[in-house]
Structure 1
Amino acid sequence: MKRTALTALMVFAATPALALDWGSVPGKEIVLFYPGQSSLEWVLSGEHGGAPKVKNGKACKECHLGEEKDMGATLVSGSKNEPAPIPAKPAFIPATVKVAQEGGKLLVRLDFKEGAQPDSKMDADFATKVTMMLDDGKLPEAAQAGCWGTCHEDAAKMPAGGAGERTKYLNRTRAKPGRQGAGDELVAAAELEKMQASGQVMEYWQARLKPGAAAVAAGGFIFDKRAEAKPSPVTAEATQSGDGWSVTLSRPLAASAPFKTIEVGKTYNLGFAIHAGHTARRFHYVSLEHTLVLDKGDADLVAVKK
């Protein structure tokens, strides 16, 4: 083994979560697909054939689970909702997702091969980023549409984003939502404070990856904008073999607000994203919405104690 590879493995293996016996934890395959410029507003528009069903409360997964690979192939090609396709970019990434509890923490592991990714040169610092969004039932849009609850027509690099730097946001924070996005006019400050106090925020965990270096963890929230929390209780660990990654995100089940308390008896809504090939912003792969419970219950992912 080359010294550089050995050094990288030593750096990665020095982290505690890798001691968990992941082989005894059941995994679920979740396909992340390339979404192009398919915003929440587009999903709700007449251009999307399923818009009436979504407006009547149907979740994206109810119609599109199992279609992720085909949707990714259409969108990554540039034939629909993508004016700037990246040549030779893979259409989707299948990931095996495992969840567990250990030492009072929730651990989420994604194993995936990102394939032959062209270098987009958008993010010079990190080749790959792995993100999980988490809602505790306070955001109906997360239960219905996962990450799309924060993805808007006027965000940076989206159709109505122009040359701006607007990040993801929740529509409920805006005074004038519309087909082209909701702009920057917020609802009254008192209403924003009330929403935040009641936990109406989307939490995110992220691992930022560079081959040969330890994973960099980040955590934060999406409310009126995306904001990274510093310090953050989120940790990240990763190992790499060829084009394959094993990435573990974790944080304590109990955390100070606005991070959410993760507890038995509640169902959490999750969305996953992977940026690959040095991409940034919307040029990522995303999952449909999925659910999580602790210990036991009816959900896509069940985090058992180890």
Structure 2
Amino acid sequence: MIASTSKPAHGVAIAALAATFSTTALSAPPADWSQIPVQTIKLFYPGQSSYDWLKSPAHKRADGKVKAGDSCISCHEGEEAEIGAKLVKGDRLEPAPIAGKQGVMDLQVQAAHDATNLYLRFQWKTQMDRAGQMHDYMMYDGEKWVFFGDARSEEKVRSGAEPPLYEDRLALMIDDGKVPLFKNQGCWLTCHNGMRDMPGEVGKEQVQAHALIGKTLKESDVRKYLPGTRSDDAASWDKTRSAEDIARLKAAGEFLELMQWRAHRSNPVGMADDGYVLEYRLSDEGKNPFSWNVDRKTMTPKFMFDARKVGAKAITLQDIGNASKPHAIIREENAVAYDAAAGWKKGDVLPGRLLSRADASGSAADNADVKGSWKDGMWTVVWTRKLDTGHPADDKALKPGSVVSVGFAVHDDNVTTRFHHVSFPMTLGIGAKGAISSTAVK
């Protein structure tokens, strides 16, 4: 039912997107990346290894080192493949293993910079034989529109009732030294019990009743946060500090920048989203490039494909994964308003997300030149990021000669939340020595 392909799959928007890039002259990454050194980073499967677990006696003989602030790499350097292979099979820390999932993957990273921009090039081999570009799809069942397909961790996918359909993602965390211990313990600082797909996952009603997360942030689950935003030693999800305390932390720069390239929700418009982690995983001020293409009251799409531009008002189940068919609805390029009387047939499919480069704005739209292509089973993502975005309240200001701490993660093979592959924290030197050193270019 789900087609496979080994060709790049970008949809019909690429020509228009290329024209956008050529007219705006956003950046000038290296013309010849073969001249830029390649660093191969082992990303491994972490299971449910939360920060809580790192500090617990279950983290045998290492919990004391974690509490003392020692680095993960001081004990586990070179053990990424061993750890990933063990956890992915359902040993400790993984109560719900996904059959056939690989425990480790190689992420190739290249870095360059000029006086204005940092340029990053990433490559990784996908486990699937097609690009993971489908996300939140809706299908007409003959009477109504329903969400169809999901992440491989979901029971309806595990059972075979629905297909695995979830976007590939590449995430980058940056710290400039203002978040205590990130350089040693990396993204584990942000991962806690009570979060989605973690031990003690907190229910929707309990989260919505919480004064900060539910009432103020309007969230219904727990996502990444930093221990410094909690008032107890355990950094419990619900023991949040006052709004005034959190505002002071933000003003002092004690947050992590978190940027995510998404194969469905950002790549078709040549962008990545821009966010940060503090009391929660939050988006930067402004508007990112994606929103819902679903009226949640009527559960009907807001837009459909413009048949004059793409040849049909919708795709079908058989079209999923076909590189010649569109996979994303882009408001200003291939969309028209949804028409309930358009003669919908059982099996018609529309994306549940609406993309727009034109509508993206503010600090949330800083990553405006991030382009990924998939070929022969490999993603190549070229990412341009201004050294100083001009938004210090949300982003880390970088400069030549500086060294920052970074962490990487890849969601591959139709997964979300903790079912990703991650790196230990490492250093990025911008014209300076680091585990990854950026090369100066003109």
Deviation at 1:248, TM superposition (A): 2.2
Letter of the 2:200 partner, please give it: A
Cα RMSD (Å): 2.8
Cross-structure match for 1:182: 236
Q: Is the 8 A contact 1:176 1:183 kept in 2?
A: no
2:225: which partner in 1? Answer: 169
The code of the aligned residue for 1:137 comes to: G
Counterpart of 2:168, as a letter, is T
1:30 aligns with 2:41: yes
Whether 2:278 is the aligned partner of 1:228: answer no
Conservation of the 8 A alpha-carbon contact between 1:220 and 1:232 = no
What is the match of residue 86 of structure 1? 98
Aligned counterparts of 1:7 and 1:279: Cα–Cα separation in 2: 20
1:18 CA drift (Å): 6.1
* % same residue: 30
Q: Report the TM-score when normalising by structure 2.
A: 0.63
TM-score (norm 1): 0.89
Distance in 1 between residues matched to 2:166 and 2:271, nearest whole Å: 9
1:210-289 matches, cutoff 5 A: 210=264, 213=268, 215-229=270-284, 230=287, 231-235=364-368, 236-255=370-389, 256-258=391-393, 259-289=395-425
Contact in 1 for aligned 2:9/2:373 (Cα 8 Å): no
Which ranges of structure 1 fall in alignment gaps of 5 or more residues? none
One-letter amino acid of the structure 2 residue matched with residue 195 of structure 1: L
How far the C-alpha of 1:40 sits from its partner, in A, is: 0.8
Aligned to 2:428: 292
One-letter code aligned to 2:79: E
**Counterpart of 1:234 in structure 2: which amino acid?**
N
Q: Does 1:11 align with 2:14?
A: yes
The corresponding residue for 2:151 is: 122
What letter corresponds to residue 121 of structure 1 in structure 2? D
Task: Identify if the C-alpha distance between structure 1 residues 267 and 251 changes in structure 2 by more than 3 Å, giving closer, same or farther.
Answer: same
2-structure distance, mates of 1:7, 1:77: 33
Deviates more, 1:93-102 or 1:103-112: 103-112
For residue 140 of structure 1, give the secondary structure of its aligned residue in structure 2.
coil
1-side partners of 2:243 and 2:259: how far apart?
Answer: 27
1:245–1:195 Cα change, 3 Å: same
Residue matched to 1:301: 436
AA at the equivalent of 1:106: L
CA distance in 1, matches of 2:121, 2:381: 6
CA distance in 2, matches of 1:215, 1:76: 32
Displacement of 1:177 in angstroms is: 4.1
8 Å contact 2:69–2:181 — kept in the other structure? no
Aligned residues of 1:36 and 1:283 also touching (Cα < 8 A): yes
The answer on whether the counterparts of 1:30 and 1:94 sit within 8 Å (CA) in structure 2 is yes
- How far apart are the structure 2 equivalents of 1:87 and 1:23? 37
Q: Separation in 1 of the partners of 2:386 and 2:258?
A: 14
Contact preservation (8 Å) 1:122, 1:279: yes
Query: Match for residue 42 of structure 1?
Result: 53
Between 1:13-22 and 1:54-63, the stretch displaced more is: 13-22
Q: Does 1:21 align with 2:21?
A: no
**In terms of mean alpha carbon deviation, does 32-41 or 54-63 score higher?**
54-63
Q: Secondary structure at the residue paired with 2:249?
A: helix
- Higher mean C-alpha deviation, range 92-101 or range 243-252: 243-252
Secondary structure of the 1:127 match is coil
One of 185, 190, 198 as aligned partner of 1:158: 198
Once residues 287 and 126 of structure 1 are traced to their aligned partners in structure 2, the CA distance between those partners, rounded to angstroms, is 21
Q: Which ranges of structure 2 fall in alignment gaps of 5 or more residues?
A: 22-26, 133-148, 153-163, 205-220, 288-363
On the 8 A contact 2:88/2:103 being kept in 1, the answer is yes
**C-alpha deviation, 1:287, in angstroms:** 0.4
In the comparison of the two structures, how many residue pairs are matched?
301
